Structure 1
Amino acid sequence: MDTASNDKPKIRPSSRWDKLRRRLGWVTLLALFALAIASSLFLRYGSLPAGAAMQSTQILDDEGHAIASIQGGVNRQIVKLSDISPWLVKATLAVEDRRFYEHSGVDLRGLARAAWVDMRHMSKQQGASTLTQQLARNLYLSQERTWTRKLKEAWYAARLEQTYSKEEILELYLNQIYYGHGAYGAEAASRLYYGKHAKDLTIAESALLAGIPKGPRYYSPHLHPSDARARQRKVLQAMRETGQLTQWQASIAARKPLNVRPLPEEEDRTAPYFADYVKKIAIDQLGMDERLMNEGGLTIRTTLNARMQKMAEAAVKKGLQGGNAELQTALIAIDPRNGYIKAMVGGRSYRRNQFNRVFAHTRQPGSSFKPIMYASALEQHAVTPATRYRSEPTLFYFDHDRQIYRPSNYNNRYFNEEIGLRQAIASSDNIYAVNTIMQVGPEAVIAMARKLGITASLKAVPSLALGTFPVSPFEMASAFSVFANEGRKSDPIAITSIQDSNGKVLYEAHVREEQVLSPALSYVTTKLLESVFDRGGTAHRVANMLKRPVAGKTGTTDSDAWFVGYTPELTTAVWIGYDRGRSITSSEAHRAAPIFAQFTESALEGKPPRIFPMPEGVVSVYIDPATNLLASPDCPNPVLETFLSGTEPTEMSARLDSSSGEHKDSGGKSRSLWSKLRKWWGV
């Protein structure tokens, strides 16, 4: 067999594809070489861009008028590096860039580590910025988290390192960086927080300041002192690890008390609490960068109505006149139709205290919480406006009869007879309220509160009916807005849009509405809450101040006074009390309702009164107030009462004729009580 052909070596012929690959390889090498030369030339001879000019951010009301200006760069004093404490320089390098003197603008090891983490998690969150990169970002770039921005940042940082010495870069950085509360640079921050020059800062003071730029809001010694102290200890630890401090020096500095100066008083401005809230929402919820907020020239359009805000501040001022100077207040007004916040007063004086009590989750709402409980009971048909309970001292057993609850009425006043739901709401009877929650169950009440938007911690116990668990004025106003808006819940909105300095829309709000209650249930609840202003009601003193249909509820505890009420177009919650929870007097407790009444009427001045529209699923019948049954023709004082369809009474009331001692039925025919008893027993 001829095998010669099998013994010849196999030779793979050269292909055009091999030649093409070789050529592409050379082209790639040449391109990379050209790119390297171009990059080197640009870094050596290319000029840096001009630093971004800082612009103030404007906060506008619902008509486009400025109500606040967030000024960027107004508090800055440029100083030389020699006029900054060496301790602040060392603290800053220890916590921000330990290899500052070793790299050329970019820490390649840190950058590689950050890039690896970003690629693994497909994110752009891992930081590896050197101090020079931070300076480049502050001078030339935005705060957006993109790989493109990071590349530009590294490029500019390298160019800065070629243009300036390390000491010059440090000087630029320490004069540029933001330290919170409008202070830019070490000198302005030192004067703001300590009232001294930056060159005089101690180790402890320097460590605190060096920790702030990481998060000026979160590490502010004014807003979050404990977090600021923790951050200071971390900086001191970094200084010890880098050999800048001994263990003894770090321990002494960590224990040393800091005399941080109070923030300077600001000029009076429109809605300062609201402006702070807007800034917080923009940063914490909408993700706006704080530096962009302070110096990016944004335009923030809000829901606030400047005229209503002025009316709110006037009502609060008048309502607190003649009282204790430490007595505090909060007012929040919301348009229930869309959730727009129209007015906000967070305290008696913004100058003296910037804490916004509208969002305080430490105050018990008292009886102002009862409408939420009654709405739950009405929805479950556990009670109706015809349900009667006896108003007298009562013991309630719960938790399978293992616990006893003994509620009492305000000033121990009881009717000592059976009363109906309307009378119980008007007089704020606690015994009726606890009887109701025992019928419907506290779990159902909590479920109702959640539907209305209340997120505060609530426990399933009988005292829940009396508002013993803290809820903020903000949440109370939001919850009552559902009743005002025919059962529709709209999330509260403060910001309608945000635009950058070029007019580009960065954020736009959209009203989110959800039907959480039936219109019929909301209407019946509202009609019952109107009785608070009737004669004998807890708010009857302010009834003559109101010229339009209004519903609401008072609430009083030992340390808190509330009024939460609404019209079809405005819901308002008012709180009165002391910051430290000290007891309020009877006269102080009566200040909340007048503030509500004055604000509501003045805010809606010029607008015609609007009634609450009656929806389907509701019936109104005349009842006998003595029995809460259908009123008979001879009933002397019939009352028109509103019910959910199917829950109205069907039995006619029979009244005892006081002159004859006889019982009269609905047809007007009389029979003696003895005759009725004989017939009943079949005698």
Structure 2
Amino acid sequence: MFKWLIRLLSLAFLLGLSGMVALFVLYQQISADLPDVSALKEVRLETPMRIYSQDNELISQYGEQRRTPVAIHNMPQQLIDAFLATEDARFYEHPGIDPVGIVRAAMVWFTTGEKRQGASTITQQVARNFFLSREKTIVRKVKEIFLALHIEKQLSKDEILELYLNKIPLGHRSHGVGAAAQVYYGKDLPELTLAEMAMIAGLPKAPSILNPISHPRRAEERRAVVLGRMLETGKITRAQYDDAMAAPVKARYHGAEITLSAPYLAEMAHQFALNMFGEEAYIRGLNIYTTVHADEQQAANEALINGLLSYDLRHGYRGPVATLWQGENAWGSEQIEQHLDEQPRYWPLEPAVVLKVNERNATVFIKDKGETELSWDGLKWARAYIADNRQGRAPKRASEILNAGEQIWVRPQEDSWMLGQLPDINGALVALEPQTGAVTALTGGFNFTLNKFNRVDQAERQMGSNIKPFIYSTALDQGFTLASLVNDAPINHWDAGSGSSWKPRNSPNVYDGPIRVREGLARSKNVVSIRLLRDSGIANAMQRLNDFGFDTDQIPATESLALGSPSATPLQMAAGYAAFANGGNRVSPFVVERIEDANGLVLYQAAPEQQRIISEENAFLISSALGSAIQGGTTAGRRWNGTGWRAGRALGRRDIGGKTGTTNDSRDAWFSGFNPNRVATAWVGFDDFGRPLGRTAYHPNLGRDQMAGGEFGGKTALPIWTDYMKVALSHFPEQKRTVPAGMVSATIDTSTGLLSNKGSTEYFVKGTEPQRYSRPGSHQQFGGTSVTDELF
């Protein structure tokens, strides 16, 4: 018996020795192929690109993988215990591989024939996740073992565990426990309950089929296994176990926690980062800080959306989205809810279904909100849309508007709901810091999900009268002053080549004879603009537009230039007006202030530059005249309003200037304006350039505050601009314009533009002020040099 025991021990020794020799030989063969595990000390976890506002509000996130790295000391101990109890209970005891675990797994397999327990340690999983494929081969397994041993020599246990918990895939594109907590529960790690921690700890085994969103029952069973292991290892009490086991499964998908809506701007920042870093931008954990401010961006969103919805309301109701049933075949509540669950929502519009229509109200079912009433105040606007310039009669009963079974849009009011609809019209709003060109707010359309076309920097539309300040700026450098008289009279220009006459008209078609340049700009007199262009020279005007950043290669050098026939984007327009606000310097708009890597190292910092394009005096004079477009003025005792008078009434301050713009047939409506701290441009139009904005008739249901008639810059675009500026300018006290040193002021007769003992104060570049006093019957010669005028 003893001899047999000696033989068995000898055999075991020989087998063990042979195994060690075999492992040594195998190690020698594969060692050259083993990666350097010291790289784990400087490992860069793939994290998505995040885009923020200036005040750290998250605007967007890009990247295939969701990952939020968390230091081990910031992870809840119960979460760590849950993973260790399930994945590697002897983690802090073994050297990287667990012989006890291997023997235990082998015994289970030997006695049952089933692979119920894994033998891989957390260190081995780190080796596999960072360095190896998931192929099931002996060579890969041996490499994994050796790498695990090496890792344990290079890193501490906490460092290994931190890498593991931040790297592992946990389903729904979440990688690491920080991301999983956000994806499944919308929480940070410290906010998780024990039941939620156990649910996450159960995911590594099979995240695709054990996650609580796709397979809640399987996930609950796996959670029970984790909680059972925690109870067995003494990490939780029986009471904690019972409470966690009884907790309902409440996981649902949580996207990136966007706290500020700016999708058009986010896409611009996204493309900027891609151009700079290529595809690596998606995995380097870049934090991109844009130039926008959260409150201004929110104001811009609301201003544009409300402006477009207001236009749509004026032009009438186009009917329901769909008819789900008619007559007695009404759907049940479950069917209605299921249908609405599949419908999108476009803030502030919510999908709803009409349940019942009464004389002056209707009962509707709103997605996720249930039944509510649409009162007459929320319905009475909805006269029928017939065409862009024609509406039906005002409704008197709710049944003229709605029918039971219709799917509609509704929008919230203060304490109620009103009927709404997706607008056909679209628009854009962009604002800048005039001194730097930093974009402070930007929205390129009604809804990014509906249409990703960014009208701020992609829609080239005719400028209309928004071009006039640039024409007037040219004229001031060619001898005109704001007091110069120009004949506001009809033009009839015969073109021998075409055999026809060009007869540009004012809008409205009213003429006042000789008026000052200041009044001509403030009241947007078309014929005055044409006469100034003629006398200044088209070539000079083209050069001035080029200096302001407009592409003159695409602009026909004709007199129609003075009326805004060239096209520009709203971003180009805002940048152009910035020069009047900042004293004559051209700025380049930008949306990215800086880019940092995952460790806070600044990789890019914007360096805005200015380029002087007009004199400080020229900028001051145009700014002053555009102030008159807001505040109005007086000529010979006659009070007149500028085309932007609504902005002055809405904002109640005198340090603003701006210009309306409306193109032929009202296809485009603009308002561009500024003060020393902000410049903004609002544009409204159809994406179909050939479709005019139309007009509306008076609506007897809506009272006296409504806007009826034609759509134009001062009515359609200006309210959007003012709604934004109410918020943007609230940060800045009203301030007087600083008069440049090269300016003088003089009191002038507003009828003649000559000096007067009583009249209005006007500013002049030194040396250009009038030298004569106005006397009864006197007049000033037209223009700054010579202007010939047709008086018919």
TM range, normalised to the smaller chain? 0.5 to 0.7
Which of 454, 457, 467 is the aligned partner of 2:550?
A: 454
Q: What is the rounded CA distance, in whole Å, between the counterparts of 2:428 and 2:779 in structure 1?
A: 54
Deviation at 1:41, TM superposition (A): 6.1
The 3 A distance-change label for structure 1 pair 399 and 70 is farther
Which of 694, 699, 719 is the aligned partner of 1:585?
A: 694
Structure 2 equivalent of residue 349 of structure 1: 447
Return 5+ residue gaps in structure 1 as ranges. 1-37, 76-138, 142-155, 165-181, 185-263, 657-662, 666-683
Q: What is the rounded CA distance, in whole Å, between the counterparts of 1:331 and 1:397 in structure 2?
A: 40
Q: Is the 8 A contact 2:472 2:521 kept in 1?
A: no
Q: TM-score, normalised by structure 2?
A: 0.51
Pairs within 5 Å for 1:365-384:
365-381=463-479, 383-384=480-481
Q: Is the 8 A contact 2:462 2:566 kept in 1?
A: yes
Q: What is the rounded CA distance, in whole Å, between the counterparts of 1:360 and 1:602 in structure 2?
A: 26
Which of 749, 754, 757 is the aligned partner of 1:629?
A: 754
The 3 A distance-change label for structure 1 pair 346 and 664 is closer
Structure 2 equivalent of residue 493 of structure 1: 590
Structure 1 equivalent of residue 408 of structure 2: none
Query: What secondary structure is seen at the aligned counterpart in 2 of 1:643?
Result: strand
The 3 A distance-change label for structure 1 pair 528 and 45 is closer
Structure 2 equivalent of residue 554 of structure 1: 660
The 3 A distance-change label for structure 1 pair 488 and 163 is farther
Structure 1 equivalent of residue 674 of structure 2: 566
The 3 A distance-change label for structure 1 pair 323 and 39 is farther
Structure 2 equivalent of residue 524 of structure 1: 621
Structure 2 equivalent of residue 408 of structure 1: 505
The 3 A distance-change label for structure 1 pair 302 and 140 is farther
Q: Are residues 1:470 and 2:576 paired?
A: no
Q: Are residues 1:600 and 2:600 paired?
A: no
Q: What is the rounded CA distance, in whole Å, between the counterparts of 1:502 and 1:319 in structure 2?
A: 42
- After superposition, the C-alpha distances for 1:179-237 in whole angstroms (9 at most, x for unaligned) are xxx999xxxxxxxxxxxxxxxxxxxxxxxxxxxxxxxxxxxxxxxxxxxxxxxxxxxxx
Q: TM-score, normalised by structure 1?
A: 0.59
The 3 A distance-change label for structure 1 pair 450 and 399 is farther
Q: Are residues 1:298 and 2:286 paired?
A: yes
Q: Are residues 1:540 and 2:645 paired?
A: yes
Amino acid of the structure 1 residue aligned with 2:672:
V
Amino acid of the structure 2 residue aligned with 1:378:
L
- After superposition, the C-alpha distances for 1:240-289 in whole angstroms (9 at most, x for unaligned) are xxxxxxxxxxxxxxxxxxxxxxxx999895211110111122223xx221
Which of 749, 762, 770 is the aligned partner of 1:649?
A: 770
Query: What secondary structure is seen at the aligned counterpart in 2 of 1:331?
Result: strand
Deviation at 1:404, TM superposition (A): 5.9
Query: What secondary structure is seen at the aligned counterpart in 1 of 2:670?
Result: strand
- After superposition, the C-alpha distances for 1:417-454 in whole angstroms (9 at most, x for unaligned) are 11111121122111110111111112211211222222
Q: What is the rounded CA distance, in whole Å, between the counterparts of 1:570 and 1:326 in structure 2?
A: 30
Query: What secondary structure is seen at the aligned counterpart in 2 of 1:510?
Result: coil
Q: Is the 8 A contact 1:54 1:72 kept in 2?
A: no
Aligned length: 439
Q: Is the 8 A contact 2:296 2:728 kept in 1?
A: yes
Pairs within 5 Å for 1:218-237:
none
Deviation at 1:351, TM superposition (A): 2.1
The 3 A distance-change label for structure 1 pair 640 and 403 is farther
Q: What is the rounded CA distance, in whole Å, between the counterparts of 2:779 and 2:445 in structure 1?
A: 59
The 3 A distance-change label for structure 1 pair 624 and 46 is closer
Q: What is the rounded CA distance, in whole Å, between the counterparts of 1:588 and 1:356 in structure 2?
A: 23
Deviation at 1:458, TM superposition (A): 1.9
Q: What is the rounded CA distance, in whole Å, between the counterparts of 1:465 and 1:270 in structure 2?
A: 38
Q: Are residues 1:271 and 2:255 paired?
A: no
Q: Are residues 1:308 and 2:296 paired?
A: yes
Q: What is the rounded CA distance, in whole Å, between the counterparts of 1:555 and 1:265 in structure 2?
A: 40
Q: Are residues 1:385 and 2:464 paired?
A: no
The 3 A distance-change label for structure 1 pair 612 and 39 is farther
Query: What secondary structure is seen at the aligned counterpart in 1 of 2:549?
Result: coil
Query: What secondary structure is seen at the aligned counterpart in 2 of 1:498?
Result: strand
Deviation at 1:317, TM superposition (A): 2.6
Q: What is the rounded CA distance, in whole Å, between the counterparts of 1:333 and 1:392 in structure 2?
A: 36
Structure 2 equivalent of residue 617 of structure 1: 742
Which of 359, 364, 370 is the aligned partner of 2:462?
A: 364
Deviation at 1:605, TM superposition (A): 1.2
What's the C-alpha RMSD, in Å, of the aligned pairs? Answer: 3.6
Q: What is the rounded CA distance, in whole Å, between the counterparts of 2:471 and 2:496 in structure 1?
A: 19
Q: What is the rounded CA distance, in whole Å, between the counterparts of 2:610 and 2:496 in structure 1?
A: 38
Structure 1 equivalent of residue 611 of structure 2: 514
Q: What is the rounded CA distance, in whole Å, between the counterparts of 1:348 and 1:399 in structure 2?
A: 46
Query: What secondary structure is seen at the aligned counterpart in 2 of 1:288?
Result: helix
Q: What is the rounded CA distance, in whole Å, between the counterparts of 1:54 and 1:500 in structure 2?
A: 11
Q: Is the 8 A contact 1:368 1:553 kept in 2?
A: yes
Q: What is the rounded CA distance, in whole Å, between the counterparts of 1:606 and 1:500 in structure 2?
A: 31
- After superposition, the C-alpha distances for 1:107-149 in whole angstroms (9 at most, x for unaligned) are xxxxxxxxxxxxxxxxxxxxxxxxxxxxxxxx989xxxxxxxx
Deviation at 1:505, TM superposition (A): 2.5
- After superposition, the C-alpha distances for 1:48-102 in whole angstroms (9 at most, x for unaligned) are 9889743121212112332222243369xxxxxxxxxxxxxxxxxxxxxxxxxxx
Query: What secondary structure is seen at the aligned counterpart in 1 of 2:737?
Result: coil
Query: What secondary structure is seen at the aligned counterpart in 1 of 2:311?
Result: coil
Which of 272, 282, 288 is the aligned partner of 2:273?
A: 282
Q: What is the rounded CA distance, in whole Å, between the counterparts of 2:294 and 2:556 in structure 1?
A: 39
The 3 A distance-change label for structure 1 pair 183 and 479 is farther
Q: What is the rounded CA distance, in whole Å, between the counterparts of 1:481 and 1:510 in structure 2?
A: 17
- After superposition, the C-alpha distances for 1:478-518 in whole angstroms (9 at most, x for unaligned) are 01101100112222121121122233322111121222221
Deviation at 1:377, TM superposition (A): 1.3
Deviation at 1:664, TM superposition (A): 12
Structure 2 equivalent of residue 102 of structure 1: none
Q: Is the 8 A contact 2:53 2:291 kept in 1?
A: yes
Q: Are residues 1:60 and 2:42 paired?
A: no
Return 5+ residue gaps in structure 2 as ranges. 1-26, 68-128, 141-172, 176-254, 313-422, 633-639, 696-709, 781-792
Q: Is the 8 A contact 2:482 2:518 kept in 1?
A: yes
Deviation at 1:472, TM superposition (A): 0.5
Q: What is the rounded CA distance, in whole Å, between the counterparts of 1:481 and 1:39 in structure 2?
A: 70
Structure 2 equivalent of residue 436 of structure 1: 532
Q: Is the 8 A contact 1:620 1:642 kept in 2?
A: yes
